[in-house]
Amino acid sequence: MPAYFRGALVTGEKLLGLYFALSFFFIARATLHWEWVPAVMLVIVALSAFNADQHGPRLSIGIFAAVILGWCAWYVYILGWGTGIQGLLVPLLVLIFFNIFNPPWVKIVFFLLLLGVRMLLYSYSLSHSAVYELDRGFSVLFQTANSAVMFFLMAIICIYLSSSIQDAERQLRLDNQALYREAGTDPLTQLPNRRALMDEIDSFMKERPSETFCVAIADIDFFKKVNDTYGHLCGDYTLKSLAERFRQTAGTGYKVCRWGGEEFCFFMPGMNIDDAGKVMMDLNVAVGRMPLNFEGTDFSITITAGVEEYDFHSAIDAIIEEADRKLYMGKESGRNRVVV
């Protein structure tokens, strides 16, 4: 049983306990007789609240319902319908309806039961006089007290339940954000993946349709040789090291993702091909100078890249394809270079 439901039930039973304690004295004052039912109800809800707090509220839900129904029936019998006791059936109905472990048919049956009880008590009050006739002052007092208890019970239940819904929505939103980030992240390098970068480019094109941008495709030269010479773990180390270097220099204004295998794609918003070419050339030099050491072995790598500028009419796939074509031009002409 959820903690919020237990909290609503226990707090509600504590409020009822206070209500029964006050009712014990006020009923005695109004009728000039000691009626022990309120005291018995006080003991029952106190034990029920303790049980719910210590062992969970499953049993206490039934006790809570039985106490409310029994109290309403006894109250109508002894003081009549006009004191507003029937209002206590409403928070009971709300509590039962928000019990997530009750199937719909149980809730419908309980609703019909409460409706039947209310109609029976009203019919009884029409054909039977109350045991005690209250004067106007006490009638107003009990009407006010019963209404206040009903509204306080409703407030307690709604506060606990609405808070739980808000917490659940907040956690769901955080979980969805985490899943979205995870779905858009390459697990090895922790860079965005292809889908995430394409989403960013699409958003840029929709929000800033009149602004140019460039894309670049870069590939590690002779990466297969790294894997074959030093092993696939060294290949993973190389990819992660390169990704970290890209992250460190991304402040120059580009976004980068792992495009697939040893390829990386760069998105450079607001840059023309000259600006983007300079960024990629600087990056090419930085990668060539980057020291790498795997299990005591020093080695280095280089990259080749192709850069293409958005022409305001081609599809993004065509721009990326042109950058990829330039990449292979660079590989065919000797690698370790940037083709613009």
Per-residue tokens: 73: 């029936």
Q: Are 100 and 3 in contact (CB under 8 A)?
A: no
Give me the pLDDT at residue 161, please.
79
Helices 223-230 & 232-249 angle (0-180, nearest 10):
130
What pTM does this model have?
A: 0.55
Q: Are 291 and 194 in contact (CB under 8 A)?
A: no
Beta bridge partners of 311: none
pLDDT < 70: residue spans in the chain: 1-2, 55-57, 100-101, 164-169, 175-182, 251-252
H or E segment and range at residue 141? helix 136-183
Give me the pLDDT at residue 97, please.
82
* d(C-alpha 23, C-alpha 42), whole Å: 10
Chain segment 34-53, per-residue pLDDT in tens = 999 999 999 999 988 888 77
* d(C-alpha 39, C-alpha 53), whole Å: 21
Give 238-253 as a DSSP string. Answer: HHHHHHHHHHHHGGGT
Give me the pLDDT at residue 179, please.
62
| CATH class entry, domain 194-339 | alpha beta
* d(C-alpha 46, C-alpha 74), whole Å: 19
Estimate to the nearest angstrom the gap between the alpha carbon of 26 and the chain centroid.
47
φ, ψ at 74 (rounded to 5°)? -65, -40
* d(C-alpha 270, C-alpha 208), whole Å: 10
φ, ψ at 33 (rounded to 5°)? -140, 145
Q: How do 303-309 and 213-220 pair as beta strands?
A: antiparallel
Q: How do 303-309 and 338-339 pair as beta strands?
A: parallel
Q: Range(s) for CATH 3.30.70.270 in the chain?
A: 194-339
Give me the pLDDT at residue 182, please.
61
Query: In 3D, which of 182, 281, 297 has the Cα closest to residue 237?
Result: 297
Give 205-238 as a DSSP string. Answer: HHH-TTS-EEEEEEEETTHHHHHHHH-HHHHHHH
Give me the pLDDT at residue 180, please.
59
Give me the pLDDT at residue 76, please.
95
Residue with tokens 């206070």: 18
* d(C-alpha 28, C-alpha 89), whole Å: 24
H or E segment and range at residue 309? strand 303-309
Phi-psi group of 213: left, alpha or beta (phi > 0 → left; psi -120 to 50 → alpha; rest → beta): beta
Give me the pLDDT at residue 173, please.
77
Residue with tokens 């602004």: 211
Chain segment 196-254, per-residue pLDDT in tens = 999 999 999 999 999 999 999 999 999 999 999 999 999 999 999 999 999 888 766 78
Q: Catalytic site residues?
A: 262
Query: In 3D, which of 281, 284, 262 has the Cα closest to residue 340?
Result: 281
Q: What is the CA radius of gyration of the chain?
A: 37
